Chain A
Amino acid sequence: MRFAFYPGCALDSSAKEYRESTEVVAGDLGIDLKEIPEWICCGSTPAHMASRLLSITLPAYNLVRARAMDVEGVVVPCASCYSRLKTANYRIARDPDLKEKVKRALGEPYEGDVPVYHVLEVLDRVICEGGLEGKIRVPLEGLRVASYYGCLLVRPPDITGFDDAEDPQLLDRVAGALGAQPVEWRHKVECCGAALAFTQDDIVLKLSGEILEDAQYAGAHVVSVGCPLCHSNLDLRQRNIEKYTGLNLGMPVLYVTQLVGLALGRTPAELGLKKHSINPLPVLKRAGVKV
């Protein structure tokens, strides 16, 4: 399993722990990740708000670089980057006019055919093929996990093809394979407010607050995510959410890769668990996980 790795801007700074945990876990499971040289920002949400061509060209720039590498495809940890890369492929493959414009902007042609995978899709595949056999050192028995998918992993379903758009099971499956107990809850695919965190943060406080409240109501110990922006809204802003909503949450938010790392026996430091705003360690210990 050899993939090109596209970390995305967030993993370089505010979501360093996602990068750390992803690289560590990939190494443990034999997934070879090679960072795309000189990758640039995918444009995320602001690019498509500013210009369609720009929003397709920026991801294409990176995919063209990945094409030159000897790999199966590109692995992306951030759901927003994942969405942009997949959308670029989707639109270029279907719109010859757009393909031509992208070619002119980049200075070289791109067919929209470099496969793009979210890191969780790859993890799911590895687990389904028995990749965890004999590797689980710390089964996460007793840990109740609310798997939070958010918007961009599962929607639009024609573009991402990431499990079901209304009731996906992939993250729950991964959690279950680690020995944890995925909870049934209602806000699996509800929006956290995304990029409005910068501009209309009261919206984020309301939406993210509803998500955390439902996770708490469903009896979860922790929420697991696959996107740094969701993480930031749910974790970094949790204290603001508590103030805004009056709720007492204290709900740690973990990246799925961190959960996998814990199960594989990695230390909290290796997984960047101490970087979170809501400290997960006391909750994990209370749930019976040996950290």
Chain B
Amino acid sequence: MARIGVFVCHCGSNIAATVDVRAVAEAASRFPGVVHSVEYRYMCSDPGQKMIAETIREKDLTGVVVAACSPRMHEPTFRRLAEKTELNPFLVEMANIREHCSWVHDDRGEATAKAIETVRMLVEKVRRNSPLEQIRVPVTRRALVVGGGIAGIQAALDLVNAGVETILIERSPSIGGKMAMLDETFPTLDCSQCILTPKMVELSQHPLARLYTYAELDGVEGYVGNFKVKVRQKARSVDHDKCTGCGLCIEKCPSRVPSEFERGLADRKSIYVPFPQAVPDKPVLDRETCIWFTQGKCGACREICPVEAIDYEDADEISEHEVGAIVVATGYDIIGRSLYGEYGYGKLVDVLDGLQFERMCSASGPTSGRIVRPSDGEVPKTVVFIQCVGSRDDSKGRPYCSKICCMYTAKHSMLYKHKVEDGKAYVFYIDVRAGGKGYEEFVNRAVDEDRVVYLRGRVSRIYERDGTLFVKGADTLSGHQIEIRADLVVLASAVTAAEGARELGQKLRIISDRYGFFTEAHPKLRPVETNTAGVFLAGACQAPRDIPDSVSQASAAASKVLGLLSADELVREPLVARVNEDLCTGCFACEAVCPYGAAERVKREDPRTGAEIEKAYMNPGVCEGCGACLPVCRPGAVDLMGFSENQIYSEINVLTESFKVEDEAK
């Protein structure tokens, strides 16, 4: 026998101003199954909650309907209070008469009638609610970090220092990411490698950290707390256990190709270490350019190696790991120089992009830190820096701002002036975005101390004649066209997501936006979580970001992981799908539509024939209760706990009956 209590909330004047709450309580008291119906000013308040709890005990209620705000606001509140009583929390429901009623209607009569019908529906539902228990899922206390740039390194360090074993995968031969390429960083002009390498070493030496470099994420299965990941260690062709890092193989290798790390400004060998401070500091062999692997000739490295570490038979190795959480830190790239025909389509040799200029500034770079023109090796006396190349440009499909360019352009102009004191530096800008701590002051240094000239206007065209670059820009502030004859031009090219990020996201079932950046769960309130439970984001893979923010975000992601892994079990709401095996025919239409991969196949014995058949099982740890499987299940074997077909139909029926009564009355 149902004994349901209805509690109608005024919510101050939020509900009561539009809905006659007393009338609602009065009408509800006459609904079948309702034994108690009251109204109160603030149901979620302490006294309000106490009142509900007392009523549950005194009247021995079998169900509760709180007619108030949206369940997204206070359903947890009222379910938690039920936990303190004998009543199963899933026998408590909320009827939304605020967001769905008082906040969207003006007419008091109509709003009140609607509120009454809403409560009527929920009472019918609660009469059919069953008590449910929360689902407990074990958690693997290990984490995976994908990407070995500063964000990945920071997240991994925070995790291992908190005692969590962490696997870090990096697809290039060394960790370090873009930060390893930088010379000096804003706003302090700290040497990038000097502050990065200690972290790289700390991570690589930590007993709880397992680094896989030159490796990729091959596949992911499972769900939050229980992921099974496959890591593909690409064949290095060099046995790192034997290798001593002597470098003879690199010396002897005859095959040269443009270096990715030097952004094409210098070459590397086919067997190589990407940069001197690489971690690990041992080479890998690039089979796509290696003469042995492409033509069957050479083999010089194998011959010269004093410890016989070169192994041409080396093959990719796949290892499987169980992890409880994954942090994605795949970083960014910049678009390069070939997007704009008006800037030469990348064919003008003395027009560089931001990362190339950065390499040129670096003491361990292709020119040993000397800034020179790639065309003739001369020191440029006039350098033009152009901001917003590819960013803030609807016509090129990137309306967004790349955030870091104003700062690094100011930095570049200062680095140039520090090295070439009698040189002239010009920056063409539209705005200067310097919102971080110490950033504005940093940019002002460029103008005040280093005499960099800032010109407000985009550049329309760059062409080359007689070795000189003609830069046709404008200064909108003074209203003049400006033509500068430059020796070198640096383009602050737009920041993009790293290549292959979108495909990686698909493996992890996380969304990317139209530009390839990963989408966070909520742009303001949940910046490091994704729509997939257990997968977190850190760094520039989510949006263009500088080093301080990437490090902050990495620590934030690590803290989320630590929260997740801090309990032995994960508690999930039991509002999930359940299959009645007696009705299931094994058609697995549910498997085809489930967006979360919750449908599994379990083997059963067919009672009629004794043969082995398969039936569907919805994994309660993965299922998110979306209900997509219900309409496709032809025998009607699957149902949703807490939102069963029976319950939903009863709500609809009681509503339509009321309309029928109304029609007859008319």
Kindly state whether residue A100 has any CB partner on chain B within 8 Å: no
* Contacting pair A164 B463 (CB below 8 A): no
CB contacts (< 8 Å) of A217 on chain B: these are 465
| CB-based contact A166/B345 at 8 Å | yes
B341 touches A165 (CB 8 A): yes
Judge whether A167 and B341 touch: CB under 8 Å.
yes
Decide yes or no whether A186 CB sits under 8 A from chain B.
Answer: yes
Q: Are B341 and A164 in contact (CB under 8 A)?
A: yes
> Is B133 positioned at the interface, with any CB of A under 8 Å from its CB?
no
* Chain A nearest CB, measured from B480 CB (Å): 18
With CB as the reference atom, state the residue of chain A lying closest to B340.
A166
Query: Chain A residues with Cβ under 8 A from B342's Cβ?
Result: 166
Q: Is the CB of B345 within 8 A of A167?
A: yes
The proximity string for A residues 183-221 relative to B, scoring 1 for CB distances below 8 Å and 0 otherwise, is 000100000000000000000000000000010010000
Chain B nearest Cβ from A146, distance in angstroms = 14
Q: Report A155 CB to chain B, min CB distance, Å.
A: 12
How far, in angstroms, from A167 to B340 measured CA to CA in the complex?
10
Q: Tell whether, in the assembled complex, residue B465 and residue A166 are in contact, meaning their CB atoms are under 8 Å apart.
A: no
Task: Count B-side interface residues using an 8 Å CB cutoff.
Answer: 7
Within 8 A of B (CB), among A226-260: none
Cα distance A167–B345 when bound, in Å? 9
Query: Which residue in A164, A165, A186 is a CB contact (below 8 Å) of B465?
Result: A186
* Interface-central residue, A164, A166, A214, A217, by most chain B CB under 10 Å: A166
Residue of B nearest to A164 (CB): B341
Interface residues in B322-376 (C-beta closer than 8 Å to A): 340-342, 345
In the complex, how many angstroms separate the beta carbon of A187 from the nearest chain B beta carbon? 9
Question: What distance in Å separates the Cβ of B351 from its nearest Cβ neighbour in chain A?
Answer: 14
Residues of B within 8 A of A214 (CB): 465
Minimum CB distance partner of B470 in chain A: A186
Scan residues 74-90 of chain A and give those whose CB is less than 8 A from a CB of chain B.
none
A151 CB to closest chain B CB (Å) equals: 14
How many angstroms between the C-alpha atoms of A66 and B463 in the bound complex?
42
Q: Do the beta carbons of A166 and B463 come within 8 Å of each other?
A: no
CA distance A115 to B464 in the complex (A): 38
A167 to B343, CA, bound (A): 10
Among residues 89 to 132 in chain A, which have CB atoms less than 8 Å away from a CB atom of chain B? none
CB contacts (< 8 Å) of B341 on chain A: these are 164-167
Q: Nearest-CB distance from B108 to chain A (Å)?
A: 46
Q: Shortest distance in angstroms between A218's beta carbon and chain B's nearest beta carbon?
A: 9
**Interfacial chain B residues near A164, Cβ < 8 Å:** 341
A186 surroundings in chain B (CB, below 8 A): 463-465
Minimum distance in angstroms from A152 CB to a CB of chain B = 17
B464: chain A residues at CB < 8 Å are 186
For residue A166, which residues in chain B have a CB less than 8 angstroms away from its CB? 340-342, 345
Closest-by-CB residue of A relative to B343 is: A166
Q: Chain A: which residue is nearest B465 at the CB level?
A: A186
For A164, A165, A186, the residue with the greatest tally of chain B CB atoms inside 10 Å of its CB is A186
B345 nearest CB neighbor, chain A only: A167
CA distance A243 to B46 in the complex (A): 95
Inter-chain CA distance A217–B341, complex, in Å, is 22
List residues 135-188 of chain A with CB under 8 A from any CB of chain B: 164-167, 186
Per-residue 0/1 for B465-477: is the Cβ within 8 Å of any A Cβ (1 yes, 0 no)?
1000000000000
State A186–B465 Cα separation when bound (angstroms): 8
The 8 A CB mask of B80-99 against A (1 = contact, 0 = none) is: 00000000000000000000
Chain A residues lying within 8 Å of B345, measured Cβ to Cβ, are: 166-167
A167 and B461 CA atoms in complex are apart in Å by: 12
Tell me the complex Cα distance, A164–B345, Å: 11
Write the nearest CB–CB distance from B505 to chain A, whole angstroms: 32
Q: Which of A167, A214, A217 has the most CB of B within 10 A?
A: A167
Return B644 CB to nearest CB of chain A, in Å: 52
- Report the minimal beta-carbon distance from B375 to chain A, rounded to whole angstroms: 15
Question: In the complex, what residues of B have CB within 8 A of residue A167's CB?
Answer: 341, 345
A217 to B342, CA, bound (A): 20
**Considering the chains assembled together, what is the distance between the CA atoms of A167 and B341 in angstroms?**
6
Q: Which of chain A's residues have a CB closer than 8 A to the CB of B340?
A: 166
Closest A residue to B466 by beta carbon equals A217
The complex places the Cα of A165 from the Cα of B395 at a distance, in Å, of 13
Closest to A188 in B: B463
Q: Which A residues are CB-close (under 8 A) to B465?
A: 186, 214, 217
Q: How far is the CB of B82 from chain A (nearest CB, A)?
A: 61
Q: How far is the CA of A166 from the CA of B340 in the complex (A)?
A: 8
Closest to B463 in A: A186
CB distance from A111 to the nearest CB of B (A): 28
Task: Give complex CA distance A24, B464 in Å.
Answer: 39
The CA-CA distance from A24 to B420 in the complex, in Å, is 61
User: Can you list, as one digit per residue, whether each of B123-145 has a CB less than 8 Å from chain A (1) or not (0)?
Assistant: 00000000000000000000000
Nearest-Cβ distance from residue B396 to partner chain A, whole angstroms: 13
Q: How far is the CB of B341 from chain A (nearest CB, A)?
A: 2
User: In the complex, how many angstroms separate the beta carbon of B655 from the nearest chain A beta carbon?
Assistant: 44
Question: How far does the Cβ of B395 sit from chain A's closest Cβ, in whole Å?
Answer: 10
How far is A181 from B463 in the complex, measured between Cα atoms in Å?
21
Q: Could you tell me the distance in whole angstroms from the C-beta of A169 to the nearest C-beta in chain B?
A: 12
Which residue of the partner chain B has the closest CB to A190?
B461
A167 to B464 Cα, complex, angstroms: 14
Cα separation A186 to B341 with both chains bound (whole Å): 12
Contacting A at CB under 8 A, from B451-466, are: 463-465
Chain A residues near B463 (CB, 8 Å)? 186
A64 vs B340: C-alpha distance when bound (angstroms): 38
**Distance between Cα atoms of A165 and B342 in the complex (Å):** 9
User: In the docked arrangement, what's the CA distance between A166 and B465, Å?
Assistant: 17
CA distance A167 to B339 in the complex (A): 12
Tell me, rounded to whole Å, the shortest Cβ–Cβ distance linking A84 to chain B.
23
B154, chain A: closest CB distance, angstroms: 42
Q: Would you give the shortest CB distance from B340 to chain A, in whole angstroms?
A: 8
Nearest CB on B from A259, distance (A) = 25
Q: Bound state CA distance, A214 and B466, in angstroms?
A: 11
Contact partners of A165 in chain B: CB under 8 A: 341
Give the docked Cα–Cα distance between A193 and B637 (Å): 77
Which B276-320 residues sit within 8 Å CB-CB of chain A? Answer: none
Which chain B residue shows the least CB distance to A165?
Answer: B341
B590 to chain A, nearest CB (A): 46
- Tell me the nearest residue of chain A to B341, going by C-beta: A166
Closest chain A CB from B371 CB (angstroms): 26
> What is the CA–CA distance of A248 and B560 in the complex, to the nearest angstrom?
75
> What is the CB-to-nearest-CB distance from A213 to chain B, in angstroms, rounded to a whole number?
11
Interface residues of B in 105-155 (CB under 8 A from A): none
Give the distance in Å from the alpha carbon of A166 to the alpha carbon of B343 in the complex.
Answer: 9
> 8 Å CB contacts to B: which residues of A27-60?
none
Q: Give chain A nearest CB distance to B342 CB in angstroms.
A: 5
Distance, CA A165 to CA B340, complexed state (A): 11
How far, in Å, is B354 (CB) from chain A's closest CB? 22
B440 to chain A, nearest CB (A): 36
Interchain nearest-CB distance for A108 vs B (Å): 36
Q: How far is the CB of A140 from chain B (nearest CB, A)?
A: 26
A165 to B460, CA, bound (A): 13
Q: In the assembled complex, how far is the CB of residue B101 from the closest CB belonging to chain A, in whole angstroms?
A: 43
CB distance from A232 to the nearest CB of B (A): 25
Min distance, Cβ A156 to any Cβ of chain B, angstroms: 11
Considering the chains assembled together, what is the distance between the CA atoms of A166 and B461 in angstroms? 10
CB distance from A263 to the nearest CB of B (A): 29
- Shortest Cβ distance from residue B65 to the other chain A in the assembled complex, whole angstroms: 54
Q: Give Cα A164 to B340, complex, Å.
A: 11
A166 to B338, CA, bound (A): 12
Chain A, Cβ-Cβ closest to B347: A167
Give the complex CA separation of A164 and B344 in angstroms: 12
- A166 to B341, alpha carbons, bound, how many Å? 5
Task: With both chains docked as a complex, state the minimum distance between the C-beta of B648 and any C-beta of chain A, in angstroms.
Answer: 46
A-B contact pairs, 13 of them (CB 8 A): A164-B341, A165-B341, A166-B340, A166-B341, A166-B342, A166-B345, A167-B341, A167-B345, A186-B463, A186-B464, A186-B465, A214-B465, A217-B465
Enumerate the 3 nearest inter-chain pairs by beta-carbon distance, A residue then B residue, closest first. Answer: A166-B341, A186-B463, A167-B341
Which residues of B pack against A, CB within 8 Å? 340-342, 345, 463-465
Q: What 4 additional pairs, Cβ within 8 angstroms, besides A166-B340, A166-B345?
A: A166-B341, A167-B341, A167-B345, A186-B465
